[in-house]
Amino acid sequence: MVKGIHARNICALAAGSLLLYFPGQILIQDTLLKQAVQPEMAEGGDTVQSWCQPSVKRHGRFVNPWATWTAPGLGGLMKMVFKEKKPSLPTTEEIEARLPVIKPDFECLSKGPSPTTLSTVWIGHATVLVQMDGLTILTDPIFSDRCSPVQFIGPRRYRPPPCSIEELPKIDAVVISHTHYDHLDLTSVKKLNERFGPSLKWFVPLGLKSWMTDVGCAEVIEMDWWQEEPYSEESNVKFVFTPAQHWCKRTAFDTDKVLWGSWCVLGSTNRFFFAGDTGYCEAFKQIGRKHGPFDLAAIPIGAYCPRWFMAPQHVDPVQAVDIHCDVKARYTLGIHWGTYNMGSTEPIFEPPEKFAESAKQKGLEEGEVFVLKHGEIKLIEKD
C-alpha cells in the first residue's frame, strides 16, 4: 500500500506545487495580461479572425485572445494549494492492477504496420510516440521522476515510464507545446539530444528557440500559430503550430514570453493532432475547419479539478470529447492523466471513466475515444 502518502507528504506536495506553479509556472500577471483580447468585429457582427486567430503579443508577452480565458492569480493558487482537499493515492495493488506499465515492443512496431498505418504508444502524461508517413514523432517528452525545476521536490510520478530514452526507436522529430515543467523537461531534452544529436528536429513555439539551442539542440524550428514547416525538402509531412488556451512560465520573470499551442502533423497518408495543454476555446473549431479531419488526436483529460481554478487552463473529459468533435478526429487518445501527482483534486482513475461516459452521451461509436496503458501500442488503420 502507498501508506500515508497524503498525510506524510502534504507539506512536500504543497511546496512542490509552489515550485511547479511559482515560480515554475503560475503567477502574478499584470492587469493587461489577465484580460482576454477580443478580435476585431467586421460589419454584420462577424469576427475578422473567425477562421484563423493569430497570436497576440503585447509589451513583450503573449496573451490569450479567447473570451474563455482568465489568468490564474496568487490568491487562487494559495487557495488551491492549502485549502482544496487532495485525494490520497490508492493502494499500490490497485494502481498496479488499474494502471499497469507495459514494456513497448518497438522492434515489432517497426516491422509490423503497413506503410499506411498510424502507430502510437502512450509513454505517459503528455508524452506520446507516433509513427506515421515514415516519421517517428515524440510529443512533450518527460521521462524524469519529478516535473519540477529540481528533482528532490515537486510533483512526482506514481507510474514509471515504460521505457528509457535509450530504449526508444530512432526519433525523427519532437514537438513541444509550451514551457511548463511537465511538458518541457530539461533532463529529457538533454538526453534525447545526446542520443540523436543533429538528426533530431525540434519543433517549438515562438520564443523558445534560444532556450533549446542553449541546452545543445541543433535543429530547432521555432513557429508561430498557423505557421507551416515541412519536415524536410524531400518529406511529404509538414508540421503546423496551432492555437490553444494556456500560458507559459518557468521562472519568476519569463511569464508568457514564449508562445503556447497545439500541433498538427499532416502527411500524405495520415494526419495527427496534439492538443498539448489547454482550456477549451474557439481555437479547436478553427483547427478542425482548416486542417481536419485527423486520423488520431491526443487530447488531455486529466488535472481538471477544481474547475474554478483549472477550467481556463485544463479541459475536463467532457470538453476533451468536444475538442475531438471540433477538430474532426477519427480517434482520440486521452492523455495528461495517470502519471504524476499534479495536485488536482479529481480521483486518479476518474478521467478515463468520464471520458468514455461523455463520448457515449454524445453518441460517439465505441472505441472512437480511448485510453492506453503506459507503454501500450495502438495501430490506426486507414478506412
Judge whether 183 is annotated as a binding position.
yes
Residue 31 corresponds to which amino acid?
T
Backbone angles phi, psi at 219, to 5 degrees: -100, 90
Residue 190 corresponds to which amino acid?
K
Residue 294 corresponds to which amino acid?
F
**Helix residue ranges, H only, 99-214:** 106-111, 186-196, 209-214
Judge whether 331 is annotated as a binding position.
no
- Contact (Cβ atoms closer than 8 angstroms) between residue 232 and residue 215: no
* Nearest CA-CA partner of 237 in 328, 172, 321, 327: 172
- Contact (Cβ atoms closer than 8 angstroms) between residue 340 and residue 157: yes
Dihedral sign (CA 60, 64, 65, 69): negative
- Contact (Cβ atoms closer than 8 angstroms) between residue 10 and residue 166: no
Strand, coil or helix: 300: strand
Judge whether 30 is annotated as a binding position.
no
- Contact (Cβ atoms closer than 8 angstroms) between residue 183 and residue 144: no
What is the distance between the alpha carbons of residues 247 and 178, in angstroms, rounded to a whole number?
8
Judge whether 322 is annotated as a binding position.
no
- Contact (Cβ atoms closer than 8 angstroms) between residue 182 and residue 126: yes
User: What is the residue whose three cell numbers read 506503410?
Assistant: 115
Judge whether 291 is annotated as a binding position.
no
Judge whether 181 is annotated as a binding position.
yes
Q: How many CB atoms lie within 10 A of CB 152?
A: 9
Binding site, annotated residues for Zn(2+): 178, 180, 182-183, 246, 277, 336
Binding site, annotated residues: 178, 180-183, 246, 277, 314, 336
